[in-house]
Structure 1
């Protein structure tokens, strides 16, 4: 069983410690630390704890939300950042998505719901609450349209990466994409990382928005392609 290293960034120390205690009972999660958003040693904590997942409360961050999330991702590029907050501010949600947050989980969610999202983002999935998702996708789509390059971005993708992106647009998850394209889930994750880099975006939500703006639709069903060793 793979154990996920979780760092919690939150200003509400007592609540964070209580949640950390409950999460400590989850066998595949290891709480490697927690600190406040304004802690001067935040960077050192991120580097030293080497988390796979970082939860962050954006309530005290306001307009700094995007900048802080970008900083966390710069410090630990391999970690998925999940917003865990009591606020439901559309502007902050959009800023978080633009900065590369993989998910937004309301603090009123159950431990089981939070755990499900954490496991999902560790596998390359994304999740925002329905009441925020529409606005987030709309803003990301408008970002792509304002860039004025509808067809160009996708030209940088390989055929296999386009297949994977098409499946993402259709709402399919890593394991399903792997099964349909006859490749491993790790290969799917590799392709997704390459897609994000080539499209110059930070999250799967942004990639899907760019794809939609470029005319890629879920109906463009990916067809399995075989190569010599079965990996894509």
Structure 2
């Protein structure tokens, strides 16, 4: 059984402790720690605890760009926004910065548990009332990126290989096996691809790649 290592970043200590206690009852979730958003020790805690998933509250002032900063410290971790605010603009910014999911705090523990497991498998989740606006903004980002000259020119040969695998619909583990690299390296290349293409999700990267003429080989073909 794969255990998801979870770090909770939230200024509401009582909520964080209560959630930690509830999640500790789930066999495949392990809360490795919790920390306030403004704690200067947060980067060190992320490095030391090596979480697979980080939940982040965006309510505190100044927490808006923490999604990107946390992923810079721990590229292998997925960030899930766990918050009480319902702000379309902040949801779009979080998606652009790479947040895999946005979960309102009023959702039940069952939904949160499903999302935490899902993002570890490469899935994303945003509530229906935010998903439409977020997707519209991300689609516009794809169009703008596709209009640039030679959007794939900035990629290294290995990054193009990884992107071609994504275009073919392959998962990270399959891409890693075919390229004889680790899944962690695939994740690192993926982060670099998104940054260089100036997009914010693998779906956008695939759209840009197809618009630029990159084709992945379907499974089963040489």
Tell me the TM-score normalized by structure 1. 0.74
Q: Deviations over 1:81-128 (max 9, x none)?
A: 110111111111111111111111111111111111111111111111
Aligned length: 211
| Match in the other structure for 2:89 | 91
Unpaired stretches in structure 1, ≥5 consecutive residues: 169-173, 228-232
Unpaired stretches in structure 2, ≥5 consecutive residues: none
Per-residue deviation, 1:54: 0.5
| Match in the other structure for 1:47 | 47
Equivalents in 1 of 2:104, 2:124: separation in Å? 14
Per-residue deviation, 1:165: 3.2
Whether contact under 8 Å (1:7, 1:51) holds in the other structure is: yes
Equivalents in 2 of 1:203, 1:188: separation in Å? 22
Secondary structure at the aligned position of 2:137 is classed as: helix
Distance 1:52 1:188, change over 3 A: closer
Q: Deviations over 1:123-157 (max 9, x none)?
A: 11111112112211222222233343277439967
Whether contact under 8 Å (2:168, 2:219) holds in the other structure is: no
Equivalents in 1 of 2:168, 2:74: separation in Å? 28
Distance 1:3 1:121, change over 3 A: same
Alignment of 1:108-187 (within 5 A): 108-147=106-145, 148-149=147-148, 152-153=151-152, 161-162=163-164, 164-165=166-167, 167=169, 174=171
Equivalents in 2 of 1:108, 1:151: separation in Å? 44
Q: CA RMSD in A?
A: 3.4
Per-residue deviation, 1:206: 2.5
